[in-house]
Amino acid sequence: MKTTFQIDVVLFDRLDRHLFPGDGDEHGALILAGVVETAHERRFLAREIVLARDGLDFVSGKFGYRALPADFVARWSNYCVRENLCYFNVHCHGGRDSVGFSDVDLQSHQRGYPALVDIANGGPIGALVFADNAVAGEIWTREGTDELDSLAVIGLNRRRLYSEPPSIPGFCDEMYHRQSLMFGEIGQHYLANTKVGIIGLGGVGSLVNEYLVRLGVGEIVGVDFDRMERSNRSRVVGSGAADCCDWLRKSRYKWLRQVGERCAARKVSVAERVARAANPRVRFRGIVGDVTYLSDAQELRDVDFLFLCADSMQSRLVFNALVHQYLIPGAQIGSRVQVDKRSGALTNVFSVARLVLPFRGGGCLLCNELIPAAKLQDEALSPEERSRQRYVDDEEVASPSVITLNALGAAQATNDFLFHVLGLFDLSRAKSSYLMHYSRERIWRAAECRAEDSCLHCGTTAASVFARGDRASLPCKN
Amino acid sequence: MTSHSIKADVSRAIDEIRSAFPGVMLDIEPDTEGGAFVKAHEFDLGSQFEPARSWSAFRITFQYPFADIYPHFFVSTLRRKDGKPLGEGFHPNNQWQHPGGNEPATMVSRRSNRRDAATETAALKLAKVLDWIRSR
């Protein structure tokens, strides 16, 4: 099982400045983390850092050069128990691209960590040691110890740290030759080792799926509960007449039409077929489900990037929670065609690609009022309740949807994913803003993102689920 | 009523209603998703109404505290003593639909358009709705 760590760029920069102020000396800190555990990976999620003050909280050691005093360790390990977080002791060494614990470090773990594991009700707890561009870690539980495989810094760019430079295979499939001329074999290797989630495999999600597979993404988890209909065929890439059971659905007999509805292909099946045709080596897992159910949402806890291509507010809330609770960078994509109700004339046509990154100001959909509380309530009603309680709003009608509008948002968001994963953004110029394309004006516009300290997803209060991982609940149905 | 399927946030909201309105009796029915149907007995609505007291019923859905709580339902016979219509926001001849059965009710719909999930509790929303009715 892999053991990894994720930390957002705002916390990491603070930690980095503290550990490496330019004096060449050793400095200390704590990371207090949530955790997500799946069959394949244990991933720690940095929620808070505590900077140990030199001479007060980080002092000359009895056994080694520096140490954290016992009362400091006791205070913060007890805090972690109360807050249900994992305690990590952090210090720095010299060097750049490789790092490891010294014998003195390992001996101090042996002396102190069995007691810390007990205080933490079995852990996990641990220690990290950083060099300028490297990190090593040791994780302790009652069952034993594990080494950290890698740490990811989540910002506009994704940065990876290892205990020593990883070996990258020198071979790149000719299928990816032209794109690897842009980002090299190492980029292709990173894509092949990336796991991506897609919520919704309709008009937008089917395009994202195709783009990801052709880029060479190694693993895709797609979630959709829906079946194909004839009216989807103009937008769902890779779909055909047989997927919609058109000949049955056009029958004059009701029972045959019903058979046609039941036999129509699932959208996840169409996506899987498209994925395997484009890249037979892709690991595609289609989930016939709905992320508003806990068991389906939990399948996305360990992805490296998450696309929201569904248009319900309930899915939007679950997506936003997954991004912030599990530190998963994501993108929400959509398009809207607004029509004057009286004249039928087009008033506004736009596509959106909203990057949602798990740090303050990273585009939280709650902070930016993109998940209306009233809509959430409305979507929870049964059809009977909704009909009874509707008194002002119009009857529900299908919204206009066009493949080219979907493609604008899907291409922008998937390109953002590519540049994020491979660290290609120019950080002196790029911002993590929302992008909107206004088709009638032929123009892209950016919208700055707000952040609220009290936000229950991205905020810093005790009530926030930020980076709590499995130790907080998702806003899903039981 | 069992409450084992009600989500922790929804249970907390119900406890807050009990604390905020001491003496008010609550009927709780879990929905199938982790939310709950709540009927609270009973509140003074003001002497301008007949009857002047009513129960209030509402549904707290599984995405609370992010989801708003509206509409609220009151006794079906609610009317103004001065004979004027109840007015905007009131919807007579509606139904309180819950697992135990549907009952005639007056619906009061007060959406919170810029709701702050961190501060607006179910108890606060109920208090705001009651204050609004009393001010009519």
Give, in order, the Cα–Cα distances in Å from A94 to each of A129, A133, A160, A197, B64.
10, 10, 18, 38, 49
Do A334 and A241 belong to one domain? Answer: no
Chain A residues lying within 8 Å of B129, measured CB to CB: none
b/e code B70-94 from CB counts within 10 Å (16+ = b)? bbbbbbbebbeeeeeebeeebbeeb
- What domains does chain B contain, in order, with CATH numbers? 3-134 (3.10.110)
- Give the range of the structural domain holding residue A150, as residue numbers without chain letter: 2-161
| Same-domain status, A363 and A390 | yes
> What is the per-residue pLDDT across B90-105, written as a single tens digit (0 to 9) for each?
999 999 999 999 999 9
8 A C-beta contact, residue A64 and residue A89: no
Which whole number is the average pLDDT over A442-456? 96
* B9-34 pLDDT, tens digit each: 999 999 999 999 999 999 999 999 99
Is the separation of the CB atoms in A130 and A92 below 8 Å? yes
Confidence class for position A342, pLDDT limits 50, 70, 90: confident
Is the CB of B68 less than 8 angstroms away from the CB of A477? no
* pLDDT level of residue A392 (50, 70, 90 thresholds): very low
Determine whether the interchain pair A475/B66 forms a contact, defined as Cβ–Cβ distance below 8 Å. Answer: yes
Shared domain check, A99 and A82: yes
Average pLDDT of every residue of chain B: 93
Nearest CA in chain A to B71: A389
User: How confident is the model at residue A241, as a pLDDT?
Assistant: 87
pTM of the entire predicted model:
0.95
Q: Is residue A172 situated within a structural domain?
A: no
Q: The domain that contains A147 carries what CATH number?
A: 3.40.140.10
Given an 8 Å threshold on Cβ–Cβ distance, is A380 in contact with B59? yes
For A380-389, write each residue's pLDDT tens digit.
988 777 777 7
Task: Note the pLDDT tens digit of each residue in A286-296.
Answer: 999 999 999 99
Instruction: Let me know if residue A369 belongs to a domain.
Output: yes
Work out the mean pLDDT of chain A and round it to a whole number: 94
Q: Which one of A128, A161, A194 terminates a domain?
A: A161
pLDDT band at residue B2 under the 50/70/90 scheme: very low
Q: What value does the mean pLDDT take over residues A327-335?
A: 97
Q: Is B125 helix (H, G, I), strand (E, B) or coil?
A: helix
pLDDT at B108: 96
DSSP states of B37-103 as a string? EEEEEEEE--TTEESSEEEEEEEE-TTTTTS----EEEETT-EETTS----TTEEEEEEEEETTEEE
What mean pLDDT do residues A434-443 have?
Answer: 96
Q: How confident is the model at residue A258 (pLDDT cuts 50, 70, 90)?
A: confident
Beta strand B36-44 with B49-50 is: unpaired
pLDDT of residue A413: 98
pLDDT band at residue A396 under the 50/70/90 scheme: low
Cβ contact A461–B118 (<8 Å):
yes
ipTM of the complex: 0.91
In this predicted structure, the answer to whether residue B3 has a pLDDT above a threshold of 50 is no
A449 contacts A434 by C-beta, under 8 angstroms? yes
Question: A2 pairs with which residues across the strands?
Answer: A41
Longest CA span, chain A: 88
Read off the pLDDT of each residue in B104-110 and give the average, rounded to a whole number.
Answer: 95
Residue given tokens 């998450």 in the structure block: A306
Q: Are residues A190 and A337 in the same domain?
A: yes
Statement to judge: residues A272 and A418 lie in one domain: yes
Claim to verify: residue A393 and residue A405 sit in the same structural domain: yes
The answer to whether A95 and A26 are in contact (CB under 8 A) is no
Among A110, A126, A161, give the residue marking a domain's end.
Answer: A161
Least confident of A40-49, A250-259, B80-89: A250-259
Statement to judge: residues A337 and A199 lie in one domain: yes
Asked if residue A461 belongs to a domain, the reply is no
Same domain for A124 and A248, yes or no, is: no
Those residues of chain B whose CB sits closer than 8 Å to some CB in chain A are 5, 7-9, 32-35, 59, 61-63, 65-71, 91, 94-95, 97, 107, 109, 111-119
Give the separation between CA A410 and CA A329, rounded to whole angstroms: 16
Q: Is there a domain that residue A460 lies in?
A: no
In a domain, A468, yes or no: no
- Tell me whether residue A458 is in a domain: no
> For chain A, what is the domain count?
3
> A69 with A216, same domain?
no
Shared domain for A259 and A351, answered yes or no, is no
pLDDT at A391: 53
Cα–Cα distance measured from residue A252 to residue A260, given in angstroms and rounded to the nearest whole number:
12
A58 within a domain of the structure (yes/no): yes
Identity (one letter) of the amino acid at A448? Answer: E
| A275 in a structural domain | yes
For residues A293 and A359, membership in a common domain is answered with yes
Question: Strand A219-224 relative to strand A150-154: parallel, antiparallel, unpaired?
Answer: unpaired
Among A109, A127, A161, the domain-final residue is A161
Co-location of A114 and A23 in the same domain = yes
Choose among A143, A148, A201: nearest CA to A33. Answer: A148
* Predicted confidence (pLDDT) at residue A82 exceeds the cutoff of 60: yes
Q: What CATH number has the domain bearing residue A303?
A: 3.40.50.720
Q: Residue A341 has what pLDDT?
A: 83
Instruction: Tell me, rounded to whole angstroms, the distance of Cα A380 from its chain centroid.
Output: 25
* Percent of chain B topping pLDDT 70: 97
**Which residues in B lie closer than 8 A to residue A377 (C-beta atoms)?**
61, 67-70
In the structure, what pLDDT confidence band is assigned to residue B1 with cuts at 50, 70 and 90?
very low
